[in-house]
C-alpha cells in the first residue's frame, strides 16, 4: 500500500502580516524573498528540497505528513460546477472538463490519470494559507492555487506554461523533468498542449515538502511516482501588453461617460467654404486634439485606473453568495466592532496610490475617509475590524459585504 493512507494531514500556518523579506526562508531554499526575486524570479528554475521542513521532520519521527486535503475531498470538490476542473488520461492522451461524478474519476489505484482543480484557495482554508506565503510577489500577478491529484504514472505530458509557477509536492512523490530548450513547438495531433520534442536536461524526484519553481517557457513534465500523488501549484499570470492596453483603453472610454463637458456637440462656426468636401475637416481635428490634450488622454496616469480595475477583476468562474448573511447597515456596523471583515477568497483587491479597486471597481472614490481607510486595510492586511461612524446604505464596504465580496 502507498504512504497516503498512513500520513497525517499537514496543517499549513498562515504567513505573518509582515513578511521578513530580507531573511532566509526554507521555502525559498535559504534565499530571502529579496534574493529569490533578484536571482530566480522570472529568470531561472529553482529546486528546493525541504521547502516545507515540517514534512521531513515528521517523517524522521515516523509520522509522515500528507496533503491537508484528502483524495475523497478533492473528488467531491470536482463535482461542484463552480469549480474549474479537468481530467487528463495518458496512453492515449484524453482530456475532459468537469464537473465530475465520482464514478467518472478513475480509482486511486489505477494508473495514468490526473485530475486538476483550479482556484482551490476558495475551496479550502489550507490552500488559502499556502497562498499567504507568497505575498512577497505583487497580488496583481497572482492567478490561483491549482491542485493536481494523480494515479501512478499520471501527468499532463511534457509542456510549457506562460506563467511563473511554484510546484509544491504535498502527497506521494512526483518525478519532474525539465528543459530550457528553445524548441517549444507543440504536437498538433493531440487534444492537449504537448511538446513535439522534449529534450530532458534535469530530472528530480520530489518528496512531500519539496518544491520546484519554474519561470515561464521552461519545458517540463511531472509524472506521479505514487498513487494519490498531489502537487499544489501556485501560479502567477502575466497578460500580454495588448490585453493590458485594450482593457485599460475600453475602461478609459467608459469613464468618458461621466464628463458633462463632452456632451456638448462639435461646433464649427469658423468653417470656411471648401473645395475638398471629402476631407476630414481641419477644424474637427484641431478641436478633438485639444480635447485629448485637456483630458490628458495620452498620459499614463489617465490609463492606470482602468488597468488597476482590470487587474482586480475576479476570475470569470468566481461565485459570490451575497445572500449568505443579511444585515442592515446598522447591524453591519456593530458586527464590524466584534469580528474581522475579510475579502472572500475569490475577491481581488489592488491599490493605486490611495485608491482601492475591488473586483473590477473603484471602491474608494466618493467614500468617507473611514471607509477608504478600511478598504486600504483590507487590501494590504486582508482584514479589517474597528468601529465606524454611521454606515449608510450606499457605503461601498456595506455594498461589497452585501454582494458577498467581503465576509465576516
Ligand atoms: C501537475 O500538477 O500535474 C501539472 C502542473 C504543471 O505542470 O503545470
Ligand atoms: Co505546467
Give the pLDDT confidence of 283-319 residue by residue, as tens digits: 999 999 999 999 998 799 999 999 999 999 999 889 8
Among the candidates 188, 221, 236, a domain finishes at 236
Count: domains in the chain: 3
Write out pLDDT tens, residues 20-75: 999 999 999 999 999 999 999 999 999 999 999 999 999 999 999 999 999 999 99
Closest by Cα among 298, 297, 271 to 284: 271
Ligand of minimum distance to the alpha carbon of 147: 1
CA atoms within 13 A on the CB side of 100: 25
pLDDT for the residue 6: 67
Give yes or no for residue 230 CB within 6 A of ligand 1: no
Give yes or no for residue 156 CB within 6 A of ligand 1: yes
Atom 1 in ligand 1: residue holding the nearest Cα: 148
Atom 4 in ligand 1: residue holding the nearest Cα: 156
Q: Give the CATH number of the domain where residue 376 resides.
A: 3.40.366.30
Give yes or no for residue 155 CB within 6 A of ligand 1: yes
Pairing, β 174-179 against β 202-206: antiparallel
- Cα 4 to ligand 1 centroid, rounded to whole Å: 19
CA geometry: angle 198, 203, 206, nearest 5 deg: 125
Give yes or no for residue 66 CB within 6 A of ligand 1: no
- Cα 60 to ligand 1 centroid, rounded to whole Å: 28
- Cα 159 to ligand 2 centroid, rounded to whole Å: 6
pTM score, two decimals? Answer: 0.94
79, 100 Cβ separation under 8 angstroms = yes
Same domain, 82 and 186: yes
Same domain, 65 and 193: yes
Within a domain: residue 273?
A: no
Probe ligand 1: pick from 115, 143, 146, 228, max atoms within 8 Å of CB?
Answer: 146
Same domain, 73 and 212: yes
Within a domain: residue 76?
A: yes
95, 191 Cβ separation under 8 angstroms = yes
For the CA of 161, the closest atom of ligand 1 is 8
Distance CA 228, CA 242 (A): 40
Give yes or no for residue 233 CB within 6 A of ligand 1: yes
- Cα 26 to ligand 2 centroid, rounded to whole Å: 23
Distance CA 197, CA 216 (A): 18
Question: Span 360-371, mean pLDDT?
Answer: 96
Same domain, 258 and 154: no
Ligand of minimum distance to the alpha carbon of 88: 1
CA atoms within 13 A on the CB side of 296: 6
pLDDT for the residue 321: 86
Give yes or no for residue 329 CB within 6 A of ligand 1: no
pLDDT for the residue 136: 98
Same domain, 24 and 109: yes
Residue 3 in this model has a pLDDT that exceeds 50 = no
Per the structure, the complete domain to which residue 306 belongs is given by 240-266+296-310
Phi, psi angles (nearest 5°) of residue 385: -145, 140
Same domain, 253 and 124: no
Same domain, 169 and 215: yes
Among the candidates 190, 219, 236, a domain finishes at 236
- Cα 72 to ligand 1 centroid, rounded to whole Å: 20
3-state secondary structure 154-175: CCCCCECCCCEEEEEEEECCEE
Probe ligand 1: pick from 210, 222, 229, 236, max atoms within 8 Å of CB?
Answer: 222
Same domain, 19 and 156: yes
Residue 325 in this model has a pLDDT that exceeds 80 = no
Q: Give the CATH number of the domain where residue 174 resides.
A: 2.60.120.650
Distance CA 339, CA 321 (A): 19
Amino acid at each position: 500500500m502507498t504512504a497516503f493512507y498512513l500520513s497525517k494531514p499537514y496543517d499549513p500556518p498562515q504567513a505573518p502580516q509582515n513578511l521578513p523579506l530580507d531573511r532566509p526562508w526554507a521555502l525559498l531554499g535559504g534565499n530571502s524573498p529579496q534574493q529569490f526575486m533578484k536571482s530566480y524570479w522570472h529568470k531561472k528554475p529553482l529546486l528546493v528540497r525541504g521547502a516545507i521542513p515540517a514534512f521531513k521532520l515528521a517523517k524522521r519521527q515516523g509520522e509522515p505528513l500528507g496533503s491537508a486535503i484528502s483524495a475523497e475531498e478533492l473528488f467531491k470538490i470536482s463535482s461542484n460546477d463552480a469549480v474549474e476542473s479537468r481530467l487528463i488520461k495518458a496512453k492515449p492522451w484524453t482530456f475532459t472538463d468537469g464537473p465530475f461524478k465520482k464514478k467518472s474519476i478513475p480509482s486511486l489505484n489505477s494508473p495514468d490519470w490526473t485530475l486538476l482543480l483550479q482556484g482551490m484557495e476558495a475551496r479550502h482554508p489550507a490552500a488559502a494559507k499556502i497562498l499567504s506565503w507568497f505575498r512577497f510577489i505583487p497580488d496583481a500577478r497572482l492567478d490561483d492555487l491549482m491542485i493536481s491529484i494523480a494515479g501512478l504514472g499520471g501527468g499532463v505530458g511534457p509542456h510549457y506554461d506562460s506563467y511563473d509557477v511554484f510546484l509544491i509536492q504535498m502527497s506521494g512523490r512526483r518525478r519532474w523533468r525539465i528543459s530550457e530548450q528553445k524548441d517549444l513547438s507543440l504536437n498538433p495531433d493531440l487534444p492537449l498542449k504537448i511538446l513535439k520534442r522534449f529534450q530532458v536536461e534535469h530530472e528530480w524526484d520530489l518528496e512531500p515538502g519539496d518544491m520546484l519553481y519554474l519561470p515561464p517557457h521552461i519545458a517540463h513534465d511531472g509524472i506521479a511516482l505514487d498513487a494519490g500523488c498531489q502537487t499544489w501549484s501556485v501560479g502567477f499570470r502575466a497578460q500580454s501588453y495588448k490585453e493590458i492596453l485594450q482593457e485599460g483603453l475600453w475602461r478609459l472610454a467608459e469613464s468618458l461617460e461621466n464628463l458633462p463637458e463632452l456632451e456638448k456637440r462639435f461646433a464649427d462656426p469658423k468653417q470656411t467654404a471648401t473645395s475638398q468636401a471629402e476631407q476630414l475637416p481641419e477644424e474637427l481635428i484641431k478641436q478633438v486634439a485639444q480635447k485629448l490634450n485637456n483630458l490628458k488622454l495620452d498620459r499614463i496616469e489617465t490609463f492606470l485606473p482602468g488597468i488597476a480595475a482590470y487587474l482586480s477583476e475576479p476570475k470569470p468562474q468566481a461565485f459570490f453568495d451575497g445572500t449568505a448573511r443579511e444585515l442592515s447597515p446598522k447591524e453591519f456596523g456593530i458586527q464590524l466592532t466584534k469580528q474581522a471583515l475579510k475579502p472572500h477568497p475569490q475577491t481581488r483587491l489592488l491599490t493605486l496610490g490611495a485608491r482601492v479597486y475591488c473586483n473590477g471597481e473603484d471602491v474608494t472614490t466618493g467614500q468617507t475617509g473611514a471607509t477608504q481607510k478600511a478598504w486600504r486595510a483590507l487590501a494590504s492586511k486582508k482584514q479589517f475590524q474597528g468601529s465606524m461612524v454611521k454606515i449608510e446604505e450606499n457605503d461601498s464596504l456595506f455594498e461589497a459585504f452585501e454582494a458577498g465580496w467581503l465576509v465576516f
